[in-house]
């Protein structure tokens, strides 16, 4: 059986946390909750959730800071920002590294659809990265199948220039 995906909810309104939790669990997700920004960031870092639902206005640390912080640390976890209303901050949220945003009050059905879509996209990305992880090596040459790029001793190779040498090397390999 496939492992359950976990969703971190960072939201200071308990009623919203409860309804999100209820709906996510019904969809088959595990949930983690944080009612303030500091705890949210800590759980995001230590529990490695599959997706984060991130409120903007939070005690201790706001959603943008959390988002920026995670992206600066190299995290690629999908983040859906939950914003209070249609405002400029939505764009700021995406600039801070959010993948998507929803304006409150949002449709639970719409949010669940976006959660599914973001999680699916993430696992496709991860699968793709894993499957192209295999590099092809021939002598000093390394071929990266995802980009068809070729390097020699770590330096990029211009195939049009180096072709004769590649052939020579290939021949040397055979001998």
Query: Which residue, 44 or 150, is less far from Ca ion as judged by CB?
Result: 44
Contact region with Ca ion (CB under 5 A), list: 12-20, 25-33, 62-70, 112-120: 12-20
**Interacting stretch for Ca ion, rule CB under 5 A, among 6-14, 32-40, 71-79, 135-143?**
6-14
- Taking the complex as a whole, the smallest distance from the CB of residue 102 to Ca ion amounts, in Å, to 13
Question: Quick one: 57 or 102, whose CB is closer to Ca ion?
Answer: 57
Tell me if 144 contacts Ca ion by CB under 5 A: no
SS (H, E, C) the chain: CCCCCEEEEECCCHHHHHHHHHHHHHCCCEEEEECCHHHHHHHHHHHCCCEEEEECCCCCCCHHHHHHHHHHCCCCCCEEEEECCCCCHHHHHHHCCCCEEEECCCCHHHHHHHHHHHHHHHHHHHHHHHHCCCCEEECCEEEECCCCEEEECCEECCHHHHHHHHHHHHHHHHC
Q: Which is nearer to Ca ion, 57 or 166 (CB)?
A: 57
User: Which residue is closest to Ca ion by CB?
Assistant: 57
Closest CA to 70 of 93, 87, 86, 89: 93
Q: How far is the CB of 13 from Ca ion (least distance, A)?
A: 6
Query: What's the CA gap between 48 and 44, in Å, rounded?
Result: 6
The site that binds Ca ion (CB under 5 A) totals a number of residues, namely: 3
Q: Considering the complex, what minimum distance in angstroms separates the CB of residue 36 from Ca ion?
A: 10
Instruction: Find the binding residues for Ca ion in span 36-55 (CB under 5 A).
Output: 55
Interaction residues for Ca ion, span 56-75 (CB under 5 A): 57
Give contact residues for Ca ion (rule: CB under 5 A): 12, 55, 57
């Amino acid at each position: 059986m496939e492992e359950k995906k976990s969703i971190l909810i960072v939201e200071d309104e308990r009623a919203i946390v409860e309804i999100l939790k209820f709906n996510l669990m019904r969809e088959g997700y595990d949930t983690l909750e944080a009612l303030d920004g500091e705890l949210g960031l800590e759980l995001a870092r230590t529990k490695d959730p599959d997706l984060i639902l991130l409120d903007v206005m939070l005690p201790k640390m706001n959603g943008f800071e959390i988002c920026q912080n995670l992206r600066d640390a190299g995290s690629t976890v999908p983040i859906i920002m939950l914003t209070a209303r249609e405002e400029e901050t939505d764009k700021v949220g995406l600039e801070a590294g959010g993948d998507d945003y929803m304006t409150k009050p949002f449709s639970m059905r719409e949010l669940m659809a976006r959660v599914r879509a973001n999680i699916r996209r993430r696992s496709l990305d991860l699968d793709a990265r894993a499957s192209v992880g295999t590099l092809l090596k021939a002598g000093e040459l390394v071929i990266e199948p995802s980009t068809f790029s070729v390097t020699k001793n770590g330096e990029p190779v211009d195939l049009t220039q180096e072709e004769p040498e590649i052939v020579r090397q290939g021949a040397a390999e055979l001998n």
